Homo-oligomer: A and B are copies of this chain.
Amino acid sequence: MRITTVGLDADDTLWHNESIFRLTQERFRALMADVAEPGLLDAHLAAVERRNLALYGYGVKGFTLSLIETAMDLTGGEPPGRIIADILAAGREMLGHPVEPLPGVEHALAELSEAYRLVLITKGDLMHQEQKLAASGLGDLFAAVEIVSEKDARTYETVFARHGTGAAEAAMCGNSLRSDILPALQAGAWAAHVPYPLTWAHEMADAPVGHPRFAELASIGGLPGWLRAMSQT
């Protein structure tokens, strides 16, 4: 078989993302320490985020608005101004956070880009994702960038048809079984899972162990070798 195109997820596959949200959440806990104990605060924030997901989507700006709403709810609608100010500052810092590729990413992508067409396939805020790609210094290695609102089988079919030679000759690599791996396999593509230590509960799903087009890799550094091996089958 032949692989011509490799799709790569961005957040938590190429660079840290979840850990930045977690750090902000820790900062929020400290900020709200006099108001709510951490367990209650986290549970309330999770409920607010879930409620807002359909309206706000994924991304830093929606998260910032959900933090403000949580602070409102837990202070009887009268949060001290410094809490609002600090949440706004935290949101701005998340948006402006330096983007560092995860270990091994630059090397692996440089190698892959010599043999395959690389396509970045990511959810989230269009402008912020483009800013992050530019800041990462990895932009030139990609033949195309697709920022999508959902990652389902149809998304992968469309993207690999548009930027490659179809899903059957494409491989997807990402940290989320639910968003990157299962729908890509369903679309007929190959898929390599590179787990990230912190995985959002919403993204959890069972690994398709034994699937002929699936691999679990300890790091993205293993991707070129796996693709080479698969090309010889």
Contact = CB atoms under 8 A, between A and B. Distances in A.
Highest count of chain B CB atoms <10 Å: which of A69, A80, A126: A126
Contact of A72 (B57, B59, B78, B81): B81
Contacts of A162: 162
A6 to B, nearest CB: 20
Given A65-B61, A65-B88, A56 B95 contact: yes
Interface residues of A, number: 36
Nearest to A73: B85
A201 interface: no
Nearest to A87: B68
Contacts of A127: 57-58, 149
A88 B72 contact: yes
Interface string A94-106: 0110000000000
Contacts of A64: 65
Contacts of A211: none
A64 B96 CA distance: 18
Contacts of A95: 55-56
A64 B127 CA distance: 17
A147 interface: yes
A147 to B, nearest CB: 6
A57 B58 CA distance: 15
A62 interface: yes
B81 A69 contact: no
